[in-house]
């Protein structure tokens, strides 16, 4: 049987989809695209915003319309958050954020009985679901999920409700999976999770895997500012050359009033002090962030303060998110003082700042020597990313998955252009 897997959302979802793909391959299923008339369609969903929900529904309807005879399996955060809507959409297998490793068993049960299957669990009472990459997958960097869930309950966020409480992958299991991937040829490992920094042995794991022959880069997908202000981690960041000079640290707002209403656990001054520490020990580090505009209580003064402080923090890039109301969260009950027009204007202003800061950071590398991981070849150029996650291209056909040294000549449309050394 042919299986198509569609993935929406974060790096955790992409990792889980790779595990699901491996499980199907281990059971003699064929993996195909959605356009190749699959017998089974798996849609791994995201529910972080209303726009995410809309994308989920769009691809579900497309899958059903274009593959009317296929078995449709929908799993992930949207399923966990709104299973009733999926029942109404006549989905064959509805699977929340647990037991994804049992997906073939559930499919075979459905094929036998032809009755809708729904598996939604209370994730506050569940353990970490051990998963393992079993097949080499089609990426140049390998993701591994070491943590799941969140206990922070930021007032705007649905994730604690759809991902459950914080729980962790066993240390030895994480190490062995990473070793398998490195032995399989991956030169870069990305440690990921919903709250990666809550992993109890994160520094030890980074230190131990850095000894693996063949591993050249260790990247952390995202980490909270409150989780890195400790001597052990900062020392590892300073001393470990394999730990990438890129950290994605979500600030969410750069205004204290808004941070307090968001239930974030720091002030902007505290955030700034830790960023200063990081830059002192890793001067070239690229610090990127997430930032929400149009939070229900955000006044014009609050937004202007956030804009001003975000510029002072000199982020390498700001991923800007217009506030999206998520039912059941504390923020959904707050009085909204921000119109859609104001939200759009603030989004535009913050995106303009992000583009300015991103250009400034890229331009610092013109004339410098860097290494990059080759990812794809098209139109006469090989493209990839530096260890501080800058997009780069060279006019030469290079094998995928190599780390090569180049000198940067120029910048074009936020892509560094270099030549091989």
Q: Are residues 235 and 158 in the same domain?
A: yes
Last residue of a domain, one of 121, 139, 174: 121
pLDDT in tens, 274-314: 999 999 999 999 999 999 999 999 999 999 999 999 999 99
pLDDT in tens, 223-234: 999 999 899 999
Q: Are residues 240 and 135 in the same domain?
A: yes
Tell me the CATH number at 377: 2.40.50.140
Q: Are residues 134 and 114 in the same domain?
A: no
Output the pLDDT for position 135: 67
Q: Are residues 301 and 268 in the same domain?
A: yes
Q: Are residues 220 and 189 in the same domain?
A: yes
Tell me the CATH number at 168: 3.30.750.210
Q: Are residues 37 and 143 in the same domain?
A: no
Output the pLDDT for position 125: 77
Q: Taking a C-beta distance cutoff of 8 angstroms, is the pair 206, 243 a contact?
A: yes
Last residue of a domain, one of 364, 394, 412: 364
For residue 373, the cross-strand partners are 385, 403
Distance CA 81, CA 46 (A): 10
Q: Are residues 267 and 282 in the same domain?
A: yes
Nearest to 232 by CA among 283, 264, 266, 197: 197
Tokens of 325: 């109301």
- Strands 2-7 and 30-32, by their bridges, are parallel
Q: Are residues 273 and 383 in the same domain?
A: no
Distance CA 73, CA 50 (A): 21
Output the pLDDT for position 136: 59
pLDDT in tens, 316-362: 999 999 999 999 999 999 999 999 999 999 999 999 999 999 999 99
Looking at the predicted structure, is the pLDDT value of residue 237 above 90? Answer: yes
Distance CA 342, CA 255 (A): 17
Output the pLDDT for position 200: 93
Tell me the CATH number at 70: 3.40.50.12160
Tell me the CATH number at 292: 3.30.750.200
Its domain, for residue 275, covers 248-364
Distance CA 297, CA 218 (A): 39
Distance CA 158, CA 418 (A): 42
pLDDT in tens, 97-139: 999 999 999 999 999 999 999 999 888 878 899 998 876 566 7
Average pLDDT, stretch 193-213?
Answer: 96
- pTM surpassing 0.85? yes
Number of domains, the chain: 4
Q: Are residues 12 and 49 in the same domain?
A: yes
Q: Are residues 66 and 167 in the same domain?
A: no
Looking at the predicted structure, is the pLDDT value of residue 88 above 90? Answer: no
């Amino acid at each position: 049987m042919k299986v198509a897997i569609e993935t929406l959302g974060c790096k955790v979802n992409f990792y889980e989809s790779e595990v699901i793909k491996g499980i199907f391959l281990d059971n003699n299923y064929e993996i195909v695209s959605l356009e190749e008339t699959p017998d089974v369609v798996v849609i791994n969903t995201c529910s972080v915003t209303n726009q995410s929900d809309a994308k989920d529904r769009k691809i579900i309807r497309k899958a059903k319309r274009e593959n009317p005879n296929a078995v449709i399996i929908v799993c992930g955060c949207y399923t966990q958050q709104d299973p009733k809507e999926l029942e109404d959409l006549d989905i064959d297998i509805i699977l929340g954020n647990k037991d994804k490793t049992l997906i073939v068993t559930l499919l075979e049960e459905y094929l036998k009985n032809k009755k809708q299957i729904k598996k939604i669990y209370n994730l506050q009472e569940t353990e970490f679901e051990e998963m393992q990459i079993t097949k080499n997958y089609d990426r140049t960097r390998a993701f591994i999920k070491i943590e799941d869930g969140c206990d922070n309950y930021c007032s705007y966020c649905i994730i604690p409700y759809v991902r459950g409480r914080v729980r962790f992958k066993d240390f030895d299991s994480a190490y062995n999976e990473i070793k398998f991937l490195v032995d399989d040829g991956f030169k870069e490992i990305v440690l990921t999770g919903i709250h990666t920094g809550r992993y109890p042995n994160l520094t030890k794991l980074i230190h131990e895997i850095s000894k693996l022959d063949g591993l050249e880069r260790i990247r952390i997908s995202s980490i909270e500012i409150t989780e890195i202000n400790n001597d052990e981690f900062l020392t590892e960041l300073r001393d470990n050359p394999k730990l990438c000079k890129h950290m994605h640290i979500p600030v969410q707002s750069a205004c204290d009033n808004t941070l307090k209403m968001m239930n974030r656990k720091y002030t902007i001054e505290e955030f700034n002090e830790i960023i200063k520490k990081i830059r002192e020990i890793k001067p070239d580090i690229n610090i990127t962030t997430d930032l929400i505009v149009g939070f229900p209580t955000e006044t014009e003064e609050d937004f202007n303060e956030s804009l001003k402080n975000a510029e002072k923090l000199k982020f390498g890039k700001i991923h800007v998110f217009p506030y999206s109301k998520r039912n059941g969260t504390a923020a959904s009950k707050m009085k909204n003082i921000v119109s859609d027009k104001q939200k759009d204007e603030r989004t535009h202003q913050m995106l303009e700042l992000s583009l300015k800061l991103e250009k400034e950071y890229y331009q610092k590398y013109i004339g410098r020597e860097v290494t990059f991981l080759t990812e794809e070849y098209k139109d006469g150029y090989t493209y990839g990313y530096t260890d501080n996650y800058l997009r780069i291209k060279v006019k030469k056909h290079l094998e995928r998955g190599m780390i090569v040294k180049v000198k940067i000549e120029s910048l074009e449309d936020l892509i560094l252009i270099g030549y091989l050394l």
